[in-house]
Structure 1
């Protein structure tokens, strides 16, 4: 479960991590009232679970009431990378001199949690990891003992954090790890952790993702679940259809049966120069209606320009998949996005015969199917 920024900040603040004063608002007058109580300047921040909100126009810094009204009117109701914005966080602006990154996640390669610190806060940490991996200090933690204070200090020191604020940053990192552990977190991060001219550290953003299977022992977080899902129609639809679905930032939609098969397809899309738009696993034994639901999911994503179906039949039968694809596409007067299909395994030959090639492009190999889908997506972008 992904918490919204305002929810994660509430959790962080309750644990003692400094956060700016803030209020949630869902209309323009509410934004103006909140800004007046907090005091200008304020930041108005779209509450959707997507990266790059600032670049996409979802975060604006305003100096007075007129600017607040204009910004609220622009952000509320906007479509932000496919997410509808129905709430904003009105937050006191932080006069900062430096931006840091701190985060906790699971390093599956090491089989341990890892604490991360970087002086390159305020930007996409994935880009930092790719372009300058040495800019991120990492400290692995033995979960049997938890994070020791010396480990937090070492991570902060290795990252090159200014000694003036090193102790405070270490304390924030320790608290973040404790929250990650106690709340059954999968990821917890602050980006940026701002440093003010008075040498205060303040969490200007907050991310907290929680293991859904552990919500039974996190009643306070479980109460946030419905609100956490609001505003994301695709994730609500995924819950309704009972799909394993993850939205990505590309434009080539992917549907497969089995997590490994879908991951392979994602890798091939990247290999052939495309960008995956999603991870969607329909599971084993998928019947025609489930396949139709999967297409409905992917077609509902405005970012998707083409779709590749990669089905390898075990208990999933190729003829059932083909029926589902035909049934779904025959509902449209015009196919909204080009669909490429690759079938293999159980009853794949029957499935290939059933497929309506007026509605889909059929390829015999996975490589050919992925390349064709990437080409279609590039044609739409061009």
Structure 2
């Protein structure tokens, strides 16, 4: 017998479907992702903390799950929505079914709803607070709970996903990506290998894998580490990671970044790009429904080339607030928002999209090489 589940939005819309994964009740901001593959990477991306993610691709789970494609030790998102859950999976790398994986990690999920109608509503009215439940099935009760749930604006969600301690990172890219990288793993005893310190605000693991596979020594530190502690590690470059939620409340990170700019080469991705911009004096704003998917077009203003990119963010840098010290390097071609900036005087730049591409296209891998060159130049 199928388990009944309901998804309710704060505007009063209610969807009824079949529950899978874990049983229970969760709240979060309801968003959508347009990727056709990569559901396991999406599930384990810490940037989805506090969100209920709907997949626009109609069938999810057909290639199962494995222990290689994860981007963190466990899922961070609040809940999961699909049109149809595949009841069988087939892939030589698969180690289990999606349903069992979600149940093991306590993720409540729903299938069998009209995801096209849900996504259209979000696109028309914006991302909304919602609730997903297999316990309470009363529509009025669920809608009221959705209205009372906390939103993302003004909350520091990063502290819920950042690591507690620093760590040395030595894992490299898997065989599917590493063929593009010729340098191989570094010798940790080689003092000439560049040392990259990654500020982890909820970092996807494929990012430090890229750094290691390019021959660097990599140290990962919590996102609230101060500038002195980072400089004491004698880094050759500092990386600012992705992460969840609103960047503006993270005043501690903005302070640290402002003290690092000009002292070491700095590279930021997604939340890291937003924090770099805030540290330089810019402001951010919440997008109507965000950019989430592995098919987002971005224009590199320097080369004139269009890249198909992976993105996952609900906030962006406000162009009218951009200080004179920053110039725009990339634009999102869907809505013309800022997708990349660089500092005019210091060795620092950031992009809104995810060049580590896990999962997604490899068009933006060159950004790691660009940072590598800046690190080599000092």
- Report the TM-score when normalising by structure 1: 0.24
Which structure is richer in relative contact order (CA contacts within 8 A, separation 6 or more)? 2
Per residue, is there more helix in 1 or in 2?
Answer: 1
Q: Specify the structure having the higher radius of gyration (Cα).
A: 1
- Which of the two has greater strand per residue? 2
TM-score, normalization by structure 2: 0.25
